[in-house]
Amino acid sequence: MFGLMVRFTCKDEEAAAAFDELVAQTGAQIRANEPGTVIYTVHRVDGQPLQRIFYELYRDVDAFETHESQDYVRRFLDERNQYLSATEVDRLDLMSGKGVDVEH
């Protein structure tokens, strides 16, 4: 398994609304077209209305690379920065969990 945790901070409330719409459009495509994407969740941060956390879990690095190469993901990556003031990315190595098979 290969994962990411990404924290996006939007510029303002208007940018957050537009970012959320872009995320919704992209998420629908991910759900429909990516069997190697095990978990792709988007969260609002309590008390931080301009922040969003993405938790992404992929079958393996190849599935992540397939995800990144999709036209709808490329569109998201190209358009997102106009709405954001900051992006923080952590790459994750799954050690244990519930609801997913962990192979070592």
The alpha carbon of 43 is separated from its chain's Cα centroid by a whole number of angstroms, namely 10
Q: How many CA atoms lie within 13 A of 30 on its CB side?
A: 25
CATH code of the domain in which 50 resides: 3.30.70.100
Q: Percent of the chain at pLDDT above 70?
A: 97
- The angle that helices 71-79 and 61-69 make with each other, rounded to 10 degrees, is 70
pLDDT surpassing 70 at residue 14: yes
99 assigned to some structural domain: no
Domain that holds residue 14: 2-92
Q: How many domains does the chain have?
A: 1
Q: What is the pLDDT of residues 53-87, one digit of tens each?
A: 999 999 999 999 999 999 999 999 999 999 999 99
This prediction has a pTM of 0.90
pLDDT beyond 90 at 99: no
Asked whether residue 97 is domain-assigned, the answer is no
